[in-house]
Amino acid sequence: MSSSYVWEIHQQSARMWYGFARHMLLRPILMDARSGSLNPAWRHHLTLDALGHPPEARLADSNKLALFEIATMGVQAWEAEPYAGPFTGLGWRVALDSWYAAVLELEDCGDRTRQPLGVGADAPSEVKRLIASLARSPLVAEQNARLAEGRRRWRDWTGCWYHAGLAAGGVDVDWRGWYRGRIATWTGGDSALEGPSAAGELAKVDSGRLDHFETLPAYWLS
């Protein structure tokens, strides 16, 4: 196995693990920000505990880098006081849009870093055969499709929360109708890989169990 191929595999695995770590660390923070429960000192409490041990010791630095970049990033409009001082008085819409953009960027970053490891011209022949075999496998294709469907459903779920926030701020938007329309496009089954259940989410909309989405955090209104 050539040294250049090993080098490339190390780069790609580090990239993928960094994306995983960043998603696991930042997504709960963003969810807390939207629900109104974000600790103003969240940066000081950010730890690697949720990540556990990486599969290889050399990937521990990817965890540390993800944590460092999140903890030291610039002040965001979706944060709670006192860290959102520069954004005080700009209104809830700035905070809500900032939050939604951050969630979408995080998902896009996850998609980019989730790309499968490349083969490369200097990859060993047995590796090339394995990758080619996996690419032809119906089981792998089905698994990938279910995972992609799950990511799409969670994006719609987040979009529902965003549109409900617009309604909470006084914008004339039918967020329930928007979400029902998105749910109608969902395909596949209802396994955990595929995210929220279509029937379950429709039942929540119809029964009012998502009505709490139509609220805004108090710290976005100051």
Instruction: Convert the pLDDT of each residue in 153-176 to its tens digit.
Output: 999 999 999 999 999 999 999 999
Q: Which of 59, 70, 60, 81 shows the shortest CA–CA distance to 106?
A: 70
Instruction: Convert the pLDDT of each residue in 100-125 to its tens digit.
Output: 999 999 988 766 666 555 555 566 56
pLDDT band at 26 (very low <50, low <70, confident <90, very high): very high
pLDDT band at 128 (very low <50, low <70, confident <90, very high): low
- Cβ-in-10-Å burial (0-12, 13-18, 19+) of 147 comes to middle
Q: What is the reported pTM?
A: 0.85
